[in-house]
Structure 1
Amino acid sequence: MNLTGGLCDRIVLQRDGDGFADARFEGATAASGAVEARVLCDGAVVEGFEWIEVGRAANGRFAGRLQGLRAGGPYEITLRIRHQGEVATTCAVRDVLVGDVWLLGGQSQMQGAGFFSEDSRLEPHPHVRAQYMDDQWDVAREPLHNMEVAVDPVHALIDGGPPTCEPFRQQGPGFSFGLDMQRRAGVPQGLIPCAHSGTSMQQWDPAEVELGGASLFGAMIRRLRHAGGRVKGVIWAQGESDATAECAPHYGARMRAFIEAVRRHAGDPGLPFVMAQIARSGDAGEDRAAWNSIQEQQRRLGDEIHRCALVPTIDLELDDTIHYGGAAQVRLGRRLADAAWSLTGDDQTPRPIRLAKVTLQSNPWRELAVFDVQFHNVVGRLVAGSRPEGFAVLDASGRPLPSLYRTRLHGDRVHLLLYHPARESGSLRPPKPSNLSVASWPMGIQASAPFPASRRTAGTSPARSPAHSRHLASPGRRSGRATRSGPGRRRWPARCRRRTRPGPSGCRSRRWRCAAGAAVPVPRPWGFPFL
Structure 2
Amino acid sequence: MRQVGAIIQKGPQHWAIIQQENGFGSVTLSGNWSADGLGIFKSAQVYARVVSEEDAREIVSWHPASMLAEQAWEITLDSIPAGGLYRLETCLQLDDNPAMEWANRGDMINHIGIGDLWVIAGQSNAAGYGKGPFQDSPQLGIHLLRNSGQWDLATHPFNESTASIHFENREAANPGHSPFLAFGKMIQKAAGIPIGLVQTSLGGSPLKAWNPDEDGVLHRNMINIIQSVGGKVRGILWYQGCSDCSPADSVSYLERFSNTVQHWRRELKDASLPILTVQLNRCTDVASIEANHSWGRVREAQRQAALTIPEVYVIPALDCSLSDGIHNSPAGNMIIGERMGKVALAHVYKREGIYAEAPCLTSAALIEEDALPSIRLEFANVNGYLLAIGPISKVFTVEDARGEVEISSWQITARNEITLKLARAVEGDAFVHGAYEMNPSSFLPLDSGSYMPTLAFYGQQVI
- Pairwise TM-score range, normalised by the shorter structure: 0.7 to 0.9
Unaligned runs of 5+ in 1: 422-429, 461-531
1:236 to partner: Cα distance: 0.8
Which runs of structure 2 are paired with 1:223-238 in the superposition (5 Å)?
223-238=225-240
C-alpha contact 2:182 2:337 (8 A) present in aligned 1: yes
Q: Quote the Cα distance in structure 2 between the aligned partners of 1:273 and 1:98.
A: 21
1:9 is matched with: 14
1:109 is matched with: 125
2:82 is matched with: 71
Q: Of 96, 103, 108, which residue of structure 2 is paired with 1:92?
A: 108
- Give the direction of change, closer, same or farther, for the CA distance of 1:190–1:452 in structure 2 (3 Å limit): same
Q: Quote the Cα distance in structure 2 between the aligned partners of 1:44 and 1:110.
A: 37
- Give the direction of change, closer, same or farther, for the CA distance of 1:217–1:280 in structure 2 (3 Å limit): same
C-alpha contact 1:356 1:375 (8 A) present in aligned 2: yes
Which runs of structure 2 are paired with 1:357-436 in the superposition (5 Å)?
357-363=362-368, 366-368=371-373, 370-387=374-391, 389-396=393-400, 401=404, 403-409=406-412, 410-421=414-425, 431-432=427-428, 434-436=429-431
Which residue identity is paired with 1:437? V
Q: Quote the Cα distance in structure 2 between the aligned partners of 1:285 and 1:195.
A: 26
Q: Quote the Cα distance in structure 1 between the aligned partners of 2:250 and 2:327.
A: 20
2:435 is matched with: 440
2:310 is matched with: 306
Deviations 1:157-184 (A, max 9, x none): xx6xxx3316xxx112111111121222
Q: Quote the Cα distance in structure 1 between the aligned partners of 2:135 and 2:61.
A: 40
Q: Quote the Cα distance in structure 2 between the aligned partners of 1:91 and 1:400.
A: 73
C-alpha contact 2:14 2:109 (8 A) present in aligned 1: yes
SS in 1 for 2:357: coil
The answer as to 2:207 corresponding to 1:201 is yes
Deviations 1:108-142 (A, max 9, x none): 1111122223xx32122112221122122222121
SS in 2 for 1:221: helix
Q: Quote the Cα distance in structure 2 between the aligned partners of 1:302 and 1:94.
A: 40
- Give the direction of change, closer, same or farther, for the CA distance of 1:58–1:328 in structure 2 (3 Å limit): farther
The answer as to 2:158 corresponding to 1:140 is no
C-alpha contact 1:100 1:190 (8 A) present in aligned 2: yes
2:184 is matched with: 178
1:388 to partner: Cα distance: 6.0
1:393 to partner: Cα distance: 2.2
Which residue identity is paired with 1:438? H
SS in 2 for 1:16: coil
1:292 is matched with: 296
1:327 to partner: Cα distance: 0.6
Which residue identity is paired with 1:231? V
Q: Quote the Cα distance in structure 1 between the aligned partners of 2:300 and 2:257.
A: 13
1:3 to partner: Cα distance: 5.6
Deviates more, 1:439-448 or 1:451-460: 439-448
Q: Quote the Cα distance in structure 1 between the aligned partners of 2:266 and 2:226.
A: 12
The answer as to 2:358 corresponding to 1:353 is yes
Q: Quote the Cα distance in structure 1 between the aligned partners of 2:149 and 2:198.
A: 9
SS in 1 for 2:307: helix
Q: Which has the higher contact order (CA 8 A, sep 6+)?
A: 2
- Name the count of aligned residue pairs: 430
Please give the TM-score of this superposition, normalised by the length of structure 1.
0.71
RMSD: 3.6
The answer as to 2:180 corresponding to 1:164 is no
Q: Quote the Cα distance in structure 1 between the aligned partners of 2:371 and 2:159.
A: 57
SS in 1 for 2:360: strand
C-alpha contact 1:358 1:371 (8 A) present in aligned 2: no
2:272 is matched with: 270
C-alpha contact 2:283 2:325 (8 A) present in aligned 1: yes
C-alpha contact 1:390 1:443 (8 A) present in aligned 2: no
Please give the TM-score of this superposition, normalised by the length of structure 2.
0.81
Q: Of 309, 327, 332, which residue of structure 2 is paired with 1:328?
A: 332
Deviates more, 1:183-192 or 1:99-108: 183-192
2:62 is matched with: 50
Unaligned runs of 5+ in 2: 1-6, 35-44, 97-102
- Give the direction of change, closer, same or farther, for the CA distance of 1:456–1:351 in structure 2 (3 Å limit): farther
Q: Which consecutive segments of 4 or more residues in structure 1 shift more than 4 A? A: 1-4, 25-31, 42-45, 55-59, 61-66, 79-82
